[in-house]
Amino acid sequence: MMTMFKTSRHMLVGAAAFAFVAIAGSNAQAAAKIQRVVSPGGIVAWLVQDSAVPLVALQFSFKGGSAQDPADKPGTASFMSDMMDEGAGDLDTGAYHERLERRAIEMNFSVSRDYVYGSLKMLKDNRDEAFDLLRLALTSPRFDADPLDRVRGQTLSLLRRESVTPGSIANRKFWEIGFAGHPYAHPANGTLESIPAIQAADLRAYHDKIFARDGLTVGVVGDIDAASLGTLLDKTFGALPAKGERNPVPDVSLNTSAKNVFVPLDVPQTNIIFGGPGLKRSDPDFMATYIVNHVIGGGSLSSKLYHEVREKRGLVYSVSENLWWLDKTGIFFGSTATRANKAIETTDVIAAELKRIADNGLTQDELDTAKSYLKGSQALALDSSTKYASVLVQYQNDGLPIDYLDKRASIIDAVTLNDTKRMAKKIWSQNLLTVSVGRPPAEAANPPKSEPTVKN
């Protein structure tokens, strides 16, 4: 899963907004169309050539992300990503945006803990100009004072809202405690203290160590042939340094020793985040674990947690759980919200249901239903050019083979009931880290008495 935190606030949508390309056919047909393109300069991309609509969608990533933020300046990567389309080369913010808008070019940057992501979408006739504007952003970002101050103000406004939003507080506390002492613990969007301290020189230093060809992954979908793409790849990315200067990031496992963490906040509902150690994407048991997780909490209204917590007891409106995999770790991660006086009961029910599944595993019917859903739902990830290009980048970053889409159904079918029982016990029998943000349960159960009426 690509865990992106914040997309650029400057994504430009013009007349080409219609240009989602429907990708028809089976997974096998889709996989057969993926080409591995190597530019004359040695830059690799996965390409799906499709001329149904005269559109080209490019997705790319650079190794780095918020894990490469300076320890005393968290939020540097996110701040930089928001500045990447705020002028480049001899074009200031206004001139750069005017060029994008005039050609209906969409450009966007975002970050996760491990990567800086970028995307570009344009009509075929505008592809040369679009790729050239991207080249300028990647090689000659300006980081001018006026847009820097504006973006800083927008980021601080967002952080102030998050500082009183229970879900944001719970999420930040979960990563802070679960990965204490590791770069993954850093608040990816920064803090109210760090953002004012980040200057143009910090953004440029981060840019210079991250944007290098050895950390680059590219996926392209649309009306472009391999030879033309190879030429554009060299023109766009070829001037970047061959190697970056990224700091080493060690492997890490989620620390659940704190178990139940409570953060008081006077809000109507208590937000709850829970999770535990999971698997890296490269683990051979990943698919079995993925299937179990789907049955537990990934299937929305049909999931075990939804049935136990919502339907049987009416404790919450919704509850979900997902697998998150990063370069250096894997976790399962869930969230819900409930009344303050029901928060303890809710977390107890969730923990009990996870233990029950760890002890008993899935039934054959549950396994068969999950397999059918997961095989069919993959098409939803490929129903637009942008989504498809994003999947091509994700699969490369995950180390999957170029024919993975062709093999995916058979990989799912190969998972046995014993595999799921073994992984259910291995993953969901561990301790949970639970973070709750809201009113203390005792206070919610015994609200203060109303003030006596004073008569004059």
Higher confidence at residue 164 or residue 447? Answer: 164
Residue 278 placed within a domain:
yes
Question: Which residue, of 237, 252, 287, is where some domain finishes?
Answer: 237
Residue 253 placed within a domain:
no
Q: What is the pLDDT of residue 301?
A: 77
Residues forming beta bridges with residue 323, ordered by sequence position: 332
Distance CA 395, CA 47 (A): 13
Domain identity same for 301 and 228: no
Q: What is the pLDDT of residue 298?
A: 86
Pairing mode, if any, of strands 106-112 and 34-38? Answer: unpaired
Q: Is the pLDDT of residue 449 over 70?
A: no
Q: pLDDT per residue over 315-325, tens digit each?
A: 999 999 999 99
As a whole number, the mean pLDDT across the chain is: 91
- The helix-helix angle for 127-139 and 93-102 (nearest 10°) equals 160
Q: pLDDT per residue over 272-315, tens digit each?
A: 999 999 999 999 999 999 999 999 998 667 899 999 999 999 99
Number of domains present in the structure of the chain: 2
- Percent of the chain past pLDDT 70, that is, above it, reads 89
Domain identity same for 363 and 425: yes
Domain identity same for 302 and 214: no
Residue 377 placed within a domain:
yes
Residue 185 placed within a domain:
yes
Domain identity same for 82 and 214: yes
Q: Is the pLDDT of residue 145 over 50?
A: yes
Domain identity same for 285 and 394: yes
* Domain enclosing residue 31, as ranges: 4-237
Domain identity same for 188 and 321: no
Residue 433 placed within a domain:
yes
Q: What is the pLDDT of residue 213?
A: 98
Question: Which residue, of 237, 270, 288, is where some domain finishes?
Answer: 237
Secondary structure string (H, E, C) spanning 262-326: EEECCCCEEEEEEEEECCCCCCCCHHHHHHHHHHHHHCHHHCHHHHHHHHCCCCEEEEEEEEEEC
Domain identity same for 321 and 425: yes
Q: Is the pLDDT of residue 69 over 70?
A: yes
Pairing mode, if any, of strands 55-63 and 115-123? Answer: antiparallel
Q: pLDDT per residue over 9-51, tens digit each?
A: 333 333 333 233 333 333 333 444 899 999 999 999 999 999 9
Distance CA 254, CA 252 (A): 7
Domain identity same for 196 and 289: no
Q: For residues 258 and 177, is the Cβ–Cβ distance under 8 A? A: yes
**What does the radius of gyration of the chain's CA atoms come to, in whole angstroms?**
24
> Domain holding 118: CATH number?
3.30.830.10
Residue 319 placed within a domain:
yes
Helix or strand or coil: residue 331?
strand
Residue 255 placed within a domain:
no
Taking alpha carbons only, the member of 292, 355, 359, 335 closest to residue 434 is 335
Average of pLDDT values for 379-385?
Answer: 83
Higher confidence at residue 256 or residue 384? Answer: 256
Q: Is the pLDDT of residue 448 over 70?
A: no
Q: What is the pLDDT of residue 383?
A: 84
Distance CA 14, CA 104 (A): 4
- The helix-helix angle for 364-377 and 286-293 (nearest 10°) equals 100
Domain identity same for 196 and 314: no
Q: What is the pLDDT of residue 13?
A: 31
Q: How far is CA 391 from CA 59, 218, 220, 221, 368, in A?
A: 9, 10, 10, 10, 25
Query: Predicted confidence band at 377 (pLDDT cuts at 50, 70, 90)?
Result: confident
Residue 424 placed within a domain:
yes
Question: Which residue, of 178, 202, 237, is where some domain finishes?
Answer: 237
Q: What is the pLDDT of residue 380?
A: 77
Average of pLDDT values for 339-345?
Answer: 95
Q: What is the pLDDT of residue 443?
A: 67
Q: What is the pLDDT of residue 164?
A: 96
- Percent of the chain past pLDDT 90, that is, above it, reads 86
Domain identity same for 302 and 440: yes
Q: How far is CA 101 from CA 11, 83, 137, 383, in A?
A: 10, 17, 15, 25
Domain identity same for 292 and 436: yes
Domain identity same for 276 and 230: no
Query: Predicted confidence band at 444 (pLDDT cuts at 50, 70, 90)?
Result: low
